Amino acid sequence: MQFSRRQFIAATGLGAGGFLAATACQSSNGSDHAPGSGGTLRIGALGKTSKIERDPHKTLSNDSDFLIASLVFDPLTVPAANPNVAPRLASAWKQLDDPRSWRFTIAPGAIFHDGTPVRSADVVWSLRRLHEIAGATKVPVDSADAITSEGPDSVTITTAAPNRELPMLLRLMTFVVKEGTTDFSAPVGTGPFRLESYNDGNARLVRNDRWHGGAPKLDAIEIRRFESTTALANAVLAGQIDLASNVGAVAGRTAEGRRDLTVVRRANDVVIPIVMRTADGPFADPRVRTALRLAVDRDAMVKQVTSGYGTPANDVLGTGDPTYDTALPGRGRDLGRARALLAEAGFDTGRTYRLATKDEAVGEVDSARLFAAQVAEAGVKIDVVVQDANVFYDETWLKAPLYTANWGTNDSVIFFASKTMVSTTKWNETGTHDPELDAAYLRALSAADNTSYVSASHDIQRIQYDRGGYLVWGVADGVDVASAKVRDLPNLAGYGRVQLERAWLAR
């Protein structure tokens, strides 16, 4: 397996961040005390020994690795709320007269940890290296030549077609390193913290007083890698760490009511849809897909799969997008209508259909089993098969007629369209080839104004809702558990939880 889709989309940067504290780092646990400086924040994060990776341009499957990289290095842009992108190493950006081209300006005063200034050549090197390693999934250009310097403090990126969403698509992916760097055993970044020590995925970071976004409040952050959610939860409940990052609903429920702990809920964090292949096979008829959607009890799915730490959804990916269409009618359970649609489509209810899943996202296997139990009441027999993740990505993903997916965070309709729905994408999970969706996507990227963009986004959502291949029953909250003394934690979804430069410790 070359990558985890959940890790990739999470790594696209979704959550709070940036030096614009008003939009990028929202307080999750307010205080009557004025923010103070000093102290060491002890953080626990999930990470497998076999997946440890220190190169910021490679796939960072471990939460612990991504946390370290995000504090040591700066990307060009980071997530925010509305709009859902904010400055980081790039202080500004502008779409040029050629709508395929964007100019990004380096933040004034940005320097590396060794004191040397950040140059446009460093940014170009970093983006070209990232493109060489990860391709257009992380830098959406046709070739490295599309990334060029424009003087000492700006860089131009030219896409193959107009793309008004390029700053969003670069969020928390474009970590900048010094030109020529390929060895990251002693990393030199530009981020709010610099590495003091490292051992087997565990690290101690100290404050970068010269960070271009303003010195962080903490003296240091110690990151401890945990192999399992259970071990991570036990550590924060026992006071061995101050913050358990993305520890899940079970730990959240346990921590509720304890005065010494705070539970941080980050909405629109993880989506675990049922994927129904639209191109061919037993679910190609849109009436069948609608029937399965009507057979699902979404409230029960959220209650049982996420322990209530989530919200029902409406078969559209991107529920946290500022352009999300709240006017789409809520899709409730209607078993009678589901049975009628199956009969009308001539669906064979005498067969048993395989639903492939894997134990990757928390609740993913449970969601598959509950889905199977619910649609059985409409006459559809499902056999849930749990696969090893490597087998799943080699044999099932992009091929099978019915399987589960999981994506970290859920705040961009256009991101999902670009990666999983348009006819040209390599990650077309549902086998969708819909000319109307393709046209709406291109209209969105080339929209000259926000009104046109919102209209195109709504068209994409309506197509998903009416005849798309995803059954999006709900969205799970991200759940962090912290000591009550930890203040101003970021509370937006996904890997926004790694943007900790404004966190502080109450005395």
On whether residue 184 sits in a domain, the answer given is: no
On whether residue 431 sits in a domain, the answer given is: yes
pTM check: above 0.85: no
Q: What residues does 148 pair with on adjacent strands?
A: 156
pLDDT tens by residue, 33-70: 567 789 999 999 999 898 899 999 998 888 999 999 99
Q: How high is the pLDDT of residue 279?
A: 96
| Residues in Cβ contact with 300 at an 8 Å cutoff, skipping those fewer than 6 apart | 370, 374
- The CATH number of residue 396's host domain is 3.10.105.10
Range with lowest mean pLDDT among 129-133, 274-278, 401-405, 424-428: 424-428
Q: What residues does 87 pair with on adjacent strands?
A: 77
What are 188's two structure tokens?
A: 């030199």
With bands split at pLDDT 50, 70 and 90, how would you rate the model's confidence at 107? very high
Q: How high is the pLDDT of residue 56?
A: 97
With bands split at pLDDT 50, 70 and 90, how would you rate the model's confidence at 425? confident
Q: Is the pLDDT of residue 27 over 60?
A: no
On whether residue 154 sits in a domain, the answer given is: no
pLDDT tens by residue, 147-199: 999 999 999 999 988 999 999 889 888 999 999 999 999 999 999 999 999 99
Domain count along the chain: 1
Strands (E) across 174-232 are located at 193-199, 202-207, 220-226
On whether residue 381 sits in a domain, the answer given is: yes
With bands split at pLDDT 50, 70 and 90, how would you rate the model's confidence at 19? very low
What average pLDDT does the chain have?
A: 90
Q: How high is the pLDDT of residue 180?
A: 97
On whether residue 390 sits in a domain, the answer given is: yes
With bands split at pLDDT 50, 70 and 90, how would you rate the model's confidence at 389? confident
Computed on alpha carbons and rounded to an integer, the radius of gyration of the chain in Å comes to 23
Give a three-class secondary structure readout of 259-325. CCEEEEEEEEEEECCEEECCCCCCCCCHHHHHHHHHCCCHHHHHHHHCCCCEEECCCCCCCCCCCCC
On whether residue 384 sits in a domain, the answer given is: yes
Q: How high is the pLDDT of residue 487?
A: 95
User: For the chain, first and last CA: distance in Å?
Assistant: 46
Q: What residue numbers bound the domain in which 437 lies?
A: 269-476
In contact, 264 and 482? CB cutoff 8 Å? yes
Q: How far apart are CA 241 and CA 17, in angstroms?
A: 22
Q: How far apart are CA 438 and CA 419, in angstroms?
A: 12
Q: Is the pLDDT of residue 13 over 70?
A: no
pLDDT tens by residue, 449-504: 999 999 999 999 999 999 999 999 999 999 999 999 999 998 877 777 888 999 99
With bands split at pLDDT 50, 70 and 90, how would you rate the model's confidence at 231? very high
Q: How high is the pLDDT of residue 83?
A: 82
Q: Is the pLDDT of residue 28 over 80?
A: no
On whether residue 21 sits in a domain, the answer given is: no
On whether residue 492 sits in a domain, the answer given is: no
Of 15, 21, 70, the closest CA to residue 190 belongs to: 70
Mean pLDDT of 75-93: 90
How large a percentage of the chain has pLDDT more than 70? 93
Q: Is the pLDDT of residue 73 over 80?
A: yes
Q: How high is the pLDDT of residue 11?
A: 39
Q: Is the pLDDT of residue 14 over 50?
A: no
389 vs 128: which has the higher pLDDT? 128
